[in-house]
Chain A
């Protein structure tokens, strides 16, 4: 049976209070807080986090496909799924594809993954969805949007954690929200029109169609995971369909995360699965120029995944307040930070390619003669000088601690002037390396502090983004 065998999520550490946005503009606050990706995060790094969360404890070599869905990919031309797959240390012999442009990109990827495992062209496909959309300054969207990523591992297996029992889709050509190829901010038509004739009408048709197809009534559904641009739209739809808003409607995550673009339906689904029991029927519907609706059935296998993932619950509780609206603007590149001293060495396609196994996969070398582990990969052993006699070992999922550090006031940029530079020691063979620390208060850094690895964007140079690993306090 085709279904979901694991799930993962990622929500950035930083949360911006909507009151802070409203205060900056003298406008009304929609209350609560929204997640904000750090200045070293983008949809590739967030998708990598969700992918790695989803793969915790699983054999990564069994994954033979990775899809990346986003409307805010850092690249217009260049595949991102390949980079996410490499950061997640998947095999090279896999299928990859990027899904974009639509708020339904993630459910399109989900459907494609299901089709792939059912047809037999792949046995396990990891679907990642990640978005970081920007609303116009002072617009409602600026307050309601959030940044996050989600991941689902799809397989055709006898006992998936979640079985996919049916689906129904419809396509609808409509200008409700859009961005031109040169736009930074999301444009939209008048809300009353787009909610009524866009969101509500299409979602209602698709969901009713699915229930009819499966000969089910709304009472048969344990949880309805309904994407929506606002709480009001979601509740209005739920009432029209006949759901009990109090018991059957999955929380929209708007008060504490925000609407996270194409990732949102999957993010809500992950949150639903974290609370699901065997036998639950879950209805998932995403919206964007049409609608994709899926009927899911939870099995007892879900218990093996629950509690072993950070997931939405873990990342929701791990948060820090972003100190100001100005910082948000700077993190999103809307205000340009003073860059600090220039980077001396720009990325090069050749070096990025040659160094991919240590720089992106975070592999170290373990000497087959003496067992010494070094990062980056050393062809000649530091200890015994054996040449080309090593195996690669992944360090990205290892815990580590601060061995020594400095709080460097010369290395940062104006919106993050102090960079903790850390000599870390992994919990493996006294392996050491040198990483900046991110997502932290520099004042909390101490010798022996536990840290974990996180894949981040380092800087832009030579017309490319340059990615590498950093450490962060354990979330």
Chain B
């Protein structure tokens, strides 16, 4: 297998304001994200040769791509829709990368857009499964709450102790998001507020759950060799991985609920392509899938940031905070920036892209000397995960 490393570059990105965008439809969000990316890259949209677009909630937008081809006036070019739970944005990016890397296209638009607030209910909805009986009442917090329960049990943590650990992740991400103008929420929260919040799916309380937001993000990809024609600080794709597990976690025989192989396999693919051997030391910024605080906790360990069972020590030492050794979710993450499902992989990539360029929204969030970053999503029951490794320098690491 070949590696995608340094074959494709991002020359422009855009991201909408996330939140309850009652004023904006899916088309408005797509236009907002895409036109920021066009401006960032300094391109004429007429020069785009293909588009990959990700969105999840079909009941709202219907099927196909036509509902965005129209508003964006993407005449005469192919457009593909991808959907794969929370990894949808990454799937759009991954497929677009291959379209560029094989030499077929020189300028590709990648879009992830989601309009959640047209459904009439506050969460992602109930009955997330593909069976009329087996997952008839599965919800997103219910699915991920089961990870928290088992993590606490496995490490002998009382619910109180466990909730204190994940609660600190909510405090961190709300702090980061409060500094980010485009984030859904701007409120900082205390650990006590997190601990005392109403329960959504025990042990997860309100502040353990991500925002249910509208939003979109966009990227423009070109062959790496042409990137400097567009700008001095393109960002290079270093590796991109995606993997499934073949069963719902609930149905996997003898599964320990700690080693989610879809996460392990997708990150291994991306790290190997990029040449990342020591993620904790080599990665300077990580945007990871904090759909729930307990997910971020487990991902620290599965992505190789913390030794197994030791994430608590890194949380307590502030290792993942803005000034720490490996800042995680510097824009507030899904938790505070929001989670319009199909957009999230690209929103995370947008944050990494801006941080690597030294152009983070609001200077107090800007990380120093960041050269390598990852964006990572994990979704479904959960059963699927994706990782993109991004770098500012060709050949590194």
Interface residues of A (CB under 8 A from B): 340-348, 351-352, 355, 359, 372-376, 378, 382-383, 403-412, 419, 421, 423, 429-434, 436, 442, 447, 458-459, 461, 466-468
Q: Does B60 contact A (CB under 8 A)?
A: no
A434 x B134 contact (CB < 8 A) = yes
**Which of A345, A407, A429, A468 lies in contact with B201, CB distance below 8 A?**
A407
**Which of B133, B139, B200, B257 lies in contact with A466, CB distance below 8 A?**
B133
Q: Does B142 contact A (CB under 8 A)?
A: yes
A372 x B253 contact (CB < 8 A) = yes
Given contacts A376-B134, A409-B201, A466-B132, contact A404 B251 (CB under 8 A): no
Given contacts A409-B199, A458-B133, A466-B133, contact A447 B146 (CB under 8 A): no
Which residues of chain B are near A447, meaning CB under 8 Å? Answer: 149-150, 153
A343 x B127 contact (CB < 8 A) = yes
Given contacts A344-B127, A408-B141, A421-B142, contact A466 B253 (CB under 8 A): no
CB distance from B381 to the nearest CB of A (A): 8
Further 16 A-B residue pairs, CB within 8 A, beyond A344-B126, A407-B145, A447-B153: A340-B126, A342-B125, A345-B129, A348-B132, A406-B203, A408-B137, A408-B202, A410-B141, A421-B143, A423-B146, A423-B250, A430-B253, A432-B251, A432-B255, A447-B150, A458-B137
Q: In the complex, A440→B200 CA distance in Å?
A: 19
CB distance from A87 to the nearest CB of B (A): 13
Main secondary structure of the interface of B (DSSP, over half): loop
**Which of B143, B249, B253 lies in contact with A382, CB distance below 8 A?**
B253
- CB-defined A-B contacts under 8 Å, sample of 23: A342-B126, A342-B127, A343-B126, A344-B128, A345-B127, A355-B133, A375-B251, A376-B134, A382-B253, A404-B146, A404-B153, A406-B141, A406-B142, A406-B202, A407-B199, A410-B200, A421-B139, A421-B201, A432-B250, A432-B254, A434-B134, A434-B251, A442-B202
Which residues of chain A are near B128, meaning CB under 8 Å? Answer: 344
Q: In the complex, A409→B204 CA distance in Å?
A: 10
Q: Does B247 contact A (CB under 8 A)?
A: yes
Q: Does B248 contact A (CB under 8 A)?
A: yes
> B residues 112-164 with Cβ under 8 Å of A?
121, 123, 125-139, 141-143, 145-150, 153
Which residues of chain A are near B131, meaning CB under 8 Å? Answer: 345, 355, 376
Q: Does B67 contact A (CB under 8 A)?
A: no
Q: Does B102 contact A (CB under 8 A)?
A: no
A373 x B253 contact (CB < 8 A) = yes
**Which of B137, B145, B202, B247 lies in contact with A374, CB distance below 8 A?**
B247
CB distance from B257 to the nearest CB of A (A): 6
Q: In the complex, A419→B200 CA distance in Å?
A: 11
CB distance from A470 to the nearest CB of B (A): 10
CB distance from A67 to the nearest CB of B (A): 26
A410 x B123 contact (CB < 8 A) = yes
Which residues of chain A are near B130, meaning CB under 8 Å? Answer: 345
Which residues of chain A are near B249, meaning CB under 8 Å? Answer: 423
Q: Does B246 contact A (CB under 8 A)?
A: yes
Given contacts A382-B246, A423-B146, A447-B149, contact A344 B202 (CB under 8 A): no
Q: Does B252 contact A (CB under 8 A)?
A: yes
